[in-house]
């Protein structure tokens, strides 16, 4: 969360939300008190499943994601670096324009992650890129530094983009869309991901698979015992004749 706050100079973070019964009203009220029109709400369940709500307050729409493959900047230790507070360029893969729900996600991501022009905490130039791409029905996020040669002999003329390079900075994360709602943090469902499988279901299937292996071992032992009982070797009358 702190990595994302560092990437968004126009953001205002708040303490944990304790309300469970009327979460939508509480979050919309917090956004109104902070003077914000958008809200990112991280929700952790069972200390292992992370969810992210993106919402336009107070009227919506809102999207619920499951957050996967999270790698923080401290964990990655990449070589890229950019000035804190600078405005980002935003790039989206062509898949965002192919489906209506991805078009809505694209517009929502632009309004939330794009730093407003002339914001008092932002720097008036661009030196990094936010890359959003879609793969396997997941939205993947990457942050890159725009590396430009600064030596006098290597200075680039305007429009010379072929010599510019991108260096990844971090963080990395993957968003799996679950549902899109008309309202803010709820309301009528306009899209539900048919490919989404709850982590509880995944863990249940893994437990059943492990239990199935144990059941197979028990059944194999029972079959072996039954086979031995049904195919007992008859005693040979001459078996111990040479021992006497």
Task: Please report the pLDDT score of residue 241 as a whole number.
Answer: 72
Query: For domain 2-196, is the CATH number 3.40.50?
Result: yes
Q: What is the pLDDT of residue 139?
A: 96
Number of H helices, E strands in the chain: 5, 9
Closest among 151, 109, 98 to 7, alpha carbons compared:
109
| pLDDT the model gives residue 243 | 67
For 141-176, how does the pLDDT look when each residue is reduced to its tens digit (9 = 90+)? 999 998 877 665 556 666 566 778 899 998 999 999
pTM of this prediction? Answer: 0.81
DSSP assignment of 100-127 equals: HHHHHHHHHHHHHHSPPTT-TTSEEEEE
């Amino acid at each position: 969360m702190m990595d994302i706050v560092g990437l968004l100079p126009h953001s205002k973070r708040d303490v944990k939300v304790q309300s469970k019964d009327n979460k939508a009203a509480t979050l919309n009220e917090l956004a109104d008190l902070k003077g914000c029109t958008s809200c990112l709400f991280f929700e952790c369940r069972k200390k292992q499943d992370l969810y992210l709500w993106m919402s336009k307050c107070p009227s919506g729409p809102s999207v619920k994601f499951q957050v996967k493959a999270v790698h923080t900047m401290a964990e990655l230790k990449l070589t890229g670096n950019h000035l804190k507070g600078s405005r980002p360029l935003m790039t989206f893969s062509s898949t965002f324009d192919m489906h209506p729900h991805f078009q809505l996600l694209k517009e929502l991501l632009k309004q939330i992650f794009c730093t407003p022009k002339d914001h008092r905490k932002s720097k008036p130039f661009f030196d990094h890129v936010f890359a959003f791409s879609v793969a396997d029905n997941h939205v993947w996020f990457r942050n890159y530094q725009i590396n430009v040669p600064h030596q006098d002999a290597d200075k680039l003329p305007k429009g010379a983009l072929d010599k510019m390079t991108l260096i990844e900075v971090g963080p990395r994360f993957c968003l799996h869309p679950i549902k899109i709602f008309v309202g803010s943090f709820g309301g009528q469902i306009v899209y539900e991901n048919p490919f989404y499988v709850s982590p509880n279901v995944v863990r249940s299937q893994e437990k059943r698979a492990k239990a199935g292996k144990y059941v197979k071992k028990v059944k194999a032992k029972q079959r072996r015992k039954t086979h031995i009982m049904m195919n007992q070797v008859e005693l040979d009358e001459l078996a111990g004749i040479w021992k006497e």
